[in-house]
Structure 1
Amino acid sequence: MTWTSDKAWTMPSMPAEADPTPNPNSPWAHDTQVLAGWQALDCALPAVRPVFEACAHEAIARLSPASLQAFWQGGRQLGKLGRGAAPVLAWLTYWPEVVEALGESDAEQAFEVVMALLLRMNKSPNSAAMTHLLTSLGPVAQRLGGLSVLQAYLHTVGHFMDRTTGSIHGRQATLPSAGLPELLLQAPRLLQTLSLSGWQAWVDFGARAYAHHPPQKEDYFALRSPDSLAVLQRERHGTLLRDAERTLSLSLQAMWQLQAHVLPLPTAQMSEEHGVQAVSVLPCLLLESTDKGTSYAMGLPDVLDARDGVSALDRYRLMLMHMAGHIQWSTPCIADNWSPMQRLAVEWFEDTRIDWILMRTWPGLRQNLLALYPPVQEGGCNEATHACVLHRLSVWSRSVLDERFEVQDPQLREWRDRFMALVDGQGQGTDAEQGVVTGQVRTAQVAQLALQFVARTRRPSDAQAQVHFEHTQVDWRDDNRHLWQFIENGDEEDTAPSPTRVADEELHSLPPQLYPEWDYLAGSERPDWVRVFEYLHPPGHAADIDQLLLRHAALSKRLQRLLDQLKPQGRTRERHLENGSELDLDVALAAHIDLKTGHIPSHRVEQHIKPVERDVSVQLVMDLSASLNEKAPGSDQTVLQISQESVALLAWALHQLGDALAIGGFHSNTRHDVRYMHIKGFEEPWADPVKARLAALEPAYSTRMGVAIRHAARTLIKRKSTKKILLVLTDGEPSDVDVTDPNYLMHDARQVVHSLQSQGVFVWCIQLHPAHEASVRHVFGDHFTLVDRMAQLPETLASLFFKLTR
């Protein structure tokens, strides 16, 4: 039996039949317990015999007699199902781990629940996933640590299997679940990062989002898709760096008078072979010399959990303190002639010196620092099989920082005393000028001491290929890339990414924006679900728009009269001011009378008069889906041509009023390709360049309305106008080719509209097709206007705007 890289059991070639009776010459034939177990297992599968003895000894040592009886019973039952040796081998290997994780009392109930689920799998097309369930069950049980949560986990697995098992003819389940094996294989890793509820939400999202796309579903549950990573990040626990960034920056400024940019470092990485994996991230300190001096950037993990009684915020703060200590007291060393082991020792000595100064300067850090230090113990590394240089440095460093930690090795004690003699008395260097000078000297002295340490403590085992890493990573210490200078560049010194040449054409385009979408079935957003590409619409002929406006000359004259009525004619007066623009005669006269009659006069005798001004910002969003190419009922024009006339007339009217207007159009071709065409910005005048873009509009594809409204409103919300209006001009209901649920995009657009209205944006829809009135009413409520005669659209649109802004 072997264990392959894709975590599947591979069986050795054996005869088709085998006698369950053990060979009398077998080394375990006279072991009564193992023999009794073999007879109770009653398994004739050839692949089970070679590994049975090892599994039996482990089970006998770890399980009670009652649990051992259930153990043999479960293996026997799996062996009789006719699914081969893989489920039996997985059971024999991992079930004792489940019993130890749950305890003897709960393991009996867990046995019944697990066997029931296995039998359901056996009777479905998902029998191949039985091995994956048993393989992952041990780590999952250890992580969850309780019967109730394990039952909830198994219930979720069973429910997912039922809802994702497919059928060819719709009457009987015939297709296995595309994502079930990957879901089970990734469960131990995900439950190390997510709570059970977060994992369940992650599973539910994948089951719903890819219900009709089996290949994409498999990539999602294998952690190979960006959507899977986005949902995983949303459901993660811990303290996000973004939430703690302001507090950390204030701490850095208050304690060090230092300003640095905090950069988040991802704690999950995605690869084509293994999908998303949690990684251990070291902080990093980046230095950049500019004309104004040296600027600093401090990279920290994007999320941290509390650990060993230390909160995530305190862990972040300790990382910042350590890097700030390097800025204050460390100077780079030229390391071209130093070996990797020498540089490693210098880094450990310098990090220990910084931590020692921090504890001496701020004694309150001692408790957290020692609590987070790895629990390394002397003699924990086997020099016969591993190189122990890292272990030796970790033990030495702990002996320096923790006075209660005693080492027996005389060499380590000697180097601890020599180090303490070097750094003793350094911790109170608060003078900036003195700190720089002494830091240069002592960094060099510490480096020389570290080089002597390597030369004097070298051992033959240091040349071993296997390096002992356990308890050698101190997570608050940075990667020390700032500590080295190289005169000659080499591959090993390249710690920064190579600069890339940006193509000239990329400088004129915008990168895609990621937006969420509302999933009404789950009651939550799908994070980073839609990509929106915004670009400047190519120009056409501005004269075409002028010709369209000439066709409505009579309407323009009527609108001009309305514009004259809408233009502000009055003034507002603010009275009783101490410092105004002019004297308020009525108030001044009353104050004079009070003074003459012996009363205390008011000193607020001035006023300020200012003209009434309109303060309106309008964002117009045009639906440019392919249906706009159709002829308008009762007209020889297309819907697009009439829409162009209407938008041109509205833009001319707003230009006359002086109101700010922005125009954009959109169409979509799946969630990965939503195009938003920029036609006019708020600060652009109504002139030939804007008219040329409006004249060149060409409809295409579908109508993903919700994300287009999100994107358009992003700029509108930032306006400081008193009244903000968003107009949506469309002839259909929300739809796209990759959406099968007709209500999905409708609910998403409704959610966006309600969100904008709560932020003070007035949203109104101009609907051009009466057949979709019900869907428009569902999205916009009563805030819509149905245009039943397309020829009147220009006048309707202009009148509507005057009504909304009066």
Structure 2
Amino acid sequence: MNASDGFPPEWRERWHVAHGRIDQAGYGDLVADAYRRAGPALAAEVGPAFAIRLAATISNVAIRSGRLAASLVPQAARTASRHFDEAALNSWAAAVEDVARRAPEAVLALLENTGRLAQALALPDFIAFVRMGLHLGDKDAGRRRAFFALESGEAIRLVEGRGADGGLAGLRHGLGLYLNALWGLAPPIAEAPPDAPDQMRRRPGFGGGGVRLPAAFAGFEDGEAKLLYRAAVAHIGAHHRFTREKFPATGLKPLQIALVSLIEDARVERLAARTMPGLAALWRRFHVARPEGPPIAIALMARLSRALADPDYADPHGWVEKGRALFAEAVRENIGDQQLSRRVGGLLGNDIGQMRLQFDARAYVVQPAYRDDNMGIWDFGPDDSQAPVEIEAMLEGARIEQQAGDDGRREEGEDGDTASGRLAEAQDEDGLLVARYPEYDHVTGRYRPEWCRVREMPGGIGAPRVASALGEARSDIVERLSTLIKASRISRQQRVRGQTEGEFLDMDASIAAMIARRAGEVPDTRVYGRYERRSRDMSVLVLIDASRSTTERVRGSQGSVLEMERLSTALLARAMTDVGDPFAIAAFCSNGREDVRYVRVKDFDRPFDRFAMARLAGLAGDYSTRLGAVIRHAGRDLRRQRSYRRLLLVVTDGEPSDIDVDDRRYLVEDARMAVHELGREGIDTFCVALDCDADSYAQRIFGPRGATVIDTIDRLDRLLPAVYLRLRS
């Protein structure tokens, strides 16, 4: 083709100027020849205006990313032209220039994958793909290059999920709405990576703050497939609501893990069906196991699953009927006790062993098809070699870098499958511990990965007289609080036997009484038992708002809101110290998403001594209130506590805000999602709003029972009973 063929006569002079500029720019023959060949073809296929405009893109790429990348631009443009019109191609070229300017190392990979991306993604999705890659950050160029090269799991999921026809791709949005309507959850829904193990690709799963679903369910089509996907997300939502903490897998065999998971699946479904009976019918239609065939372990487990879900199902096998009876008895005693799954599953596992039935963990796939692979409910500890399949975190949201402290010790990161993502170690340029967390965008309904940076700042030391005053003030309130905390019973229920009346029969005492009666002796009438909470087992982290607004005066008082926060926290800390409950104190403020500040006043393993009191007295109010990021950061500390109940108590004076956010709802919705994330992990969150009109946002974030407003310290001892009552319910 002649260098001017394809261009109308009125455009040929402009074309000569455009390619002449590329010829004389010194980019080399490779770049110039590629443009001379592709330009006329683009003019004929798309239009002369785009062919000439492409010269600017080639120049930008050559200057920032080198000649090799620039030589690929013309052919990549021709490839993209098979899928995009002229207007879309102009947007494509602008996106390539944006990548060259902000991530020059990634341009080559982006151009090499143009065909795959243009085929799989419409233009808005392509732009979203580019923006997501650019948001990975300047400090991790390798990860960003891998994203554009389609070597990262996140990029593959975006491309494969959107490019698929039918199956999950067509249902994803509706499933998100369905899950939100049922359980008030809005996690990202992704397709299982194509390189994942077979069990992971065939069954749903959750973890890392997201939901993982198969691209399609083999053997299910159209309306039945849609119902199956709905059953899957409804089941995962039931786990989020009712499986309050992960089961420790230490010391358990794969068969025991599978059976405990089976019982837990049935337990959460039974609880969900109490409030939404229609779910039971939805789940039941997919239980197709039949009471025939060889009595192998995997087949018997599928039959037991159906027996626990379908009251009309009859099975002649003794093991299945025993499982049904054990489950029914445990449910009658206390269906809210998650440990019943551990007990019943353990008993059934022993029976399988005694029957000499083989269980192949690698061949086992959870039945029925809508149930998840159960990896989200197990804690395999730091060594995950026990896991039946290898699990990758779905979303990588937070990176914590390991650094040496001033005392030479190493700060240890901890992996966690939450919406905050997998934690890795990172280092701030100032040598302070830094964490990156996602932030939820309520407009798009998605998380922005690694959007906020939380820095742990050294706190100031207050004047000795201020610290001394905090340690001595209002001893009357401290005594009342201590009495209240001692009287509370926040712990696991225990069986108390040998009672004259109660909730269940004490079988040992009943047998002894019957023996005594038959022997002609007077039987002991204490043959009952009941459930009681006889102690406290709770950890509390008090999170104090130290933003600039807290320096304002309390209405009708000479003191500031921050002074009120410090005093109320000191009173509560002194009371918890008296009774020996573990607690921690931290404060926060923010100056944009890259500078969220977190000050440790007292850690769980440190005493509340004069040094902690001095740090509390030294808190000063400044900057803004980016609440969601610090809730996620505080939740990281609470996850490490092994207490029965864990409470994050947020003390603040105003709604979330920051200098880089104009939408008032944005930070409120993100904080609300952060509270939900902790709730799914069994961490309770409560807000004490001081001297403010916070009801409008506090109840939206923390729920109608999760927030209260007080205007005087004297109300503190009346507030706590509401908190403890909520924890007991």
Rg larger in structure: 1
Q: Give the alignment's TM-score, normalised by structure 2.
A: 0.49
Q: Which has the higher contact order (CA 8 A, sep 6+)?
A: 2
Q: Give the alignment's TM-score, normalised by structure 1.
A: 0.45
